[in-house]
Amino acid sequence: MCGKGVNGFMKRIYMDHAATTPTDNEVVKAMEPYFTQKYGNPNSIHSFGQEARDAVEEARKKVAHLIGANPSEIIFTGGGTESDNFAIKGIAWANQKKGNHIITSKIEHHAVLHSCQFLEKHGFRVTYLPVDKYGLIDPDNVKKAITDQTILVTIMHANNEIGAIEPIKEIGKVVKEAGIYFHTDSVQTVGHIPIDVNDLGVDMLSMSGHKLYGPNGVGVLYLRKGTRIDSLIGGGSQEKNRRAGTENVAGIVGMGKAAELAEKRLVQGEEDKLIKLRDRLIKEITEKVDHVLLNGHPKKRLPGNVNLCFEFIEGESMLLNLDMEGVAASSGSACTSGSLEPSHVLLAIGLPPEIAHGSLRLTLGKDNTEEEVECVIDILPKIIEKLRALSPFKGSWEGLKK
Ligand code: PLP
């Protein structure tokens, strides 16, 4: 039975992979010895240290391979947030004599937006580009925004809420012509769609372990050779003086293993499997429910991302009702949930706040099945029906009913 396992126990369904992914068993297995047996400090000369150093360098190669980079261009960090902060503030501090202007978009993750807002308090000027109704940025708008003071363009590869995949390659061409640094927050795309940093034309790219079945608290900044950047964290000379602090060896090993496994899954066609499940969810829910809107582009979207707005309903009540049925989803991004502010991304694509409040994000992962998708297709319309019957907007809803 849907939502129920054997003996009446609730079978839980996880559809919140954009918030975090489960750590792969193989990743955990690869990490384990680095806690209890191979615990040397990679900066030590002795054999324990060298064992750990080898593991860090092996992981660096695996991550580099996944994105078509050179291992020397991979800097391990404490996660996606740190990578974004490092790229943006690091470029700003190191290049402030050249100019003080940065270009980004209105739909970036807060790790990017807050870094930019911080720099605004310190004399930098930031242009926040608009997006179209699908959440896509026009490369021409990037071109028009560039001035002789521009030192950095930072545009996310794909949006974490609505899944829109931005035209990074086209933007890369524009930015390269202008001779400016280009950073992309690729936290939601690395390991989920094929990526080649040279093909994209980026100088910096952020990634995060826990979004690709690796551990939390470890990330990477890809840094193209020759990029002039200041480090954020001072101390020892780790990561070629770019990021001080004794390396998180087990986390880095986990990140490397996660990258290796992600590469295999991409070759085996995981993207197509997720697209099929995603499109089925979108098609059947929008057929079964009235007054529902797909957020983001129908095709230019992350393989596992479904984001819908249901009119006359609060996102939070949908989440609670789904959770009672064992289904984990989200409304807006995990980082903003808990706040009553409508998502800045949904407002940027032109939704009025009352509609933006009724958003639901289901993000599929490698272990979701057809059966789980069928279960959500069965449960969700019933929840919507129930909530609309209780809704304070009931009158207006009934008047609009098809
Ligand atoms: N950037 C994007 C697009 C994200 O989705 C997230 C996490 O939700 C981050 C950055 C932050 O990554 P982390 O959780 O590793 O700090």
Task: Express each pLDDT in 132-154 by its tens digit.
Answer: 999 999 999 999 999 999 999 99
pLDDT value at position 212? 98
Taking alpha carbons only, the member of 182, 190, 209, 200 closest to residue 88 is 182
How far is residue 244's CA from residue 13's CA, in Å, rounded to a whole number?
A: 40
Residue for token pair 């992600």: 262
How far is residue 245's CA from residue 170's CA, in Å, rounded to a whole number?
A: 37
Q: How wide is the angle at C-alpha 108 spanned by C-alphas 106 and 109, nearest 5°?
A: 140
Residue for token pair 């479904």: 306
pLDDT value at position 390? 87
Strand ranges, E, within 159-314: 181-185, 204-208, 219-223, 292-294, 305-310
Taking alpha carbons only, the member of 83, 61, 80, 82 closest to residue 72 is 61
Taking alpha carbons only, the member of 90, 96, 101, 91 closest to residue 125 is 101
Which of helix, strand or coil describes residue 129?
strand
Q: Which helix (H) or strand (E) covers residue 105, if one does?
A: strand 101-105
Residues of the chain with CATH 3.90.1150.10: 6-17+269-401
Phi-psi region of 230 (alpha: psi -120 to 50; beta: other; left: phi over 0): beta
Residue for token pair 């990140």: 255
The response to whether residue 85 sits with its C-beta less than 6 Å from ligand 1 reads no
Helix, strand, coil shares, percent, the chain, to 5: 45, 15, 40
How far is residue 148's CA from residue 137's CA, in Å, rounded to a whole number?
A: 21
pLDDT value at position 340? 67
Q: What is the CATH number of domain 6-17+269-401?
A: 3.90.1150.10
> Quick one: which atom of ligand 1 is closest to the CA of 219?
15
Q: Give, using CA atoms, the residue closest to atom 10 of ligand 1.
A: 80
> Quick one: which atom of ligand 1 is closest to the CA of 217?
15
Q: Read off the pTM.
A: 0.95
Mutation test residue for ligand 1: of 20, 86, 104, 109, the one with most atoms within 8 Å of CB: 109
Q: Which residues, in sequence order, are CB contacts of 30 under 8 Å at separation 6+? A: 253, 254, 256, 257
From the list 2, 116, 335, 375, the catalytic residue is: 335
* Three-state SS letters, 17-34: CCCCCCCCHHHHHHHCHH
Contact, 230 vs 272, CB < 8 A?
no
Tokens matching residue 223:
């840094």
Whether domain 25-266 has CATH 3.40.640.10: yes
For residue range 363-389, what is the model confidence (pLDDT) as tens digits? 999 999 999 999 999 999 999 999 999
Q: Is 335 a catalytic residue?
A: yes
The response to whether residue 80 sits with its C-beta less than 6 Å from ligand 1 reads yes
Q: Which helix (H) or strand (E) covers residue 373, if one does?
A: helix 370-390
pLDDT value at position 11? 87
C-beta atoms surrounding 131 within 10 Å: 21
Q: What is the DSSP letter of 132?
A: -
For residue 80, report the distance from its CA to the centre of ligand 1, in Å. 5
> Quick one: which atom of ligand 1 is closest to the CA of 159?
3
Write out the chain's pLDDT in tens, 402 residues. 465 655 666 789 999 999 999 999 999 999 999 999 999 999 999 999 999 999 999 999 999 999 999 999 999 999 999 999 999 999 999 999 999 999 999 999 999 999 999 999 999 999 999 999 999 999 999 999 999 999 999 999 999 999 999 999 999 999 999 999 999 999 999 999 999 999 999 999 999 999 999 999 999 999 999 999 999 999 999 999 999 999 999 999 999 999 999 999 999 999 999 999 999 999 999 999 999 999 999 999 999 999 999 999 989 999 999 999 999 999 864 444 555 688 999 999 999 998 999 999 999 999 999 999 999 999 999 999 999 998 776 655 454 444
pLDDT value at position 5? 57
How far is residue 218's CA from residue 239's CA, in Å, rounded to a whole number?
A: 14
Contact, 364 vs 277, CB < 8 A?
yes
Taking alpha carbons only, the member of 330, 310, 283, 327 closest to residue 385 is 310
DSSP states along 140-154: HHHHHH--TTEEEEE
Contact, 214 vs 248, CB < 8 A?
no
Taking alpha carbons only, the member of 388, 268, 285, 289 closest to residue 329 is 285
Q: Are strands 125-129 and 101-105 parallel, antiparallel or unpaired?
A: parallel
pLDDT value at position 10? 76
Contact, 158 vs 166, CB < 8 A?
yes
Residue for token pair 């740190």: 82
The response to whether residue 160 sits with its C-beta less than 6 Å from ligand 1 reads yes
The response to whether residue 185 sits with its C-beta less than 6 Å from ligand 1 reads yes
Residues of the chain with CATH 3.40.640.10: 25-266
Phi-psi region of 245 (alpha: psi -120 to 50; beta: other; left: phi over 0): left
For residue 186, report the distance from its CA to the centre of ligand 1, in Å. 9
pLDDT value at position 8? 64
Contact, 329 vs 15, CB < 8 A?
yes
